[in-house]
């Protein structure tokens, strides 16, 4: 029971919990939108990452991902079991896999 109530113990942990939930919801939204793009004609940003310039867009996204998480993880404390380093590294790993798979799909798909 204590583990379930841990996010609500202080304001700082509530903010960290809210950010984690927001990032997770964003990842689910991205996956949902990419799955739904197969049902019909893509619209908006889905057309951007599935069109002829997808390799350029996803290449820029990969470089931005590498810079954000490569530099960002250096400034996060990573001593102890309760540091946010592991959670951010997990988010970096999942988002990096999606970006790189999209990039490989765009390059090989041509």
Predicted confidence at residue 27, as pLDDT, reads 92
pLDDT in tens, 27-59: 999 888 778 766 667 677 777 777 778 888 888
Closest listed residue to residue 97, CA positions, set 76, 75, 69: 69
Which residues, including other chains, have CB under 8 Å from residue 101's CB and lie 6 or more apart? Answer: none
Q: Residue ranges of the domains in the chain?
A: 2-108
Which position has the token pair 């799955």? Answer: 35
Q: Which helix (H) or strand (E) holds 59?
A: helix 54-72
- Contact between 70 and 3 under an 8 Å Cβ cutoff? The reply is no
Q: Is the pTM of this model over 0.75?
A: no
Length of the chain: 110
């Amino acid at each position: 029971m204590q583990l379930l109530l841990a996010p609500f113990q202080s304001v700082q942990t509530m903010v960290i919990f809210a950010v984690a939930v927001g990032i997770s919801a964003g990842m689910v939204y991205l996956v949902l939108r990419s799955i739904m793009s197969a049902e019909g004609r893509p619209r908006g940003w889905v057309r951007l990452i599935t069109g002829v310039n997808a390799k350029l867009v996803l290449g820029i996204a990969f470089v931005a991902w590498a810079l954000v998480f490569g530099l960002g993880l250096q400034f996060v404390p990573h001593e102890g079991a309760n540091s946010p380093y592991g959670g951010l590294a997990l988010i970096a790993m999942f988002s990096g896999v999606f970006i790189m798979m999209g990039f490989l799909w765009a390059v090989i798909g041509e």
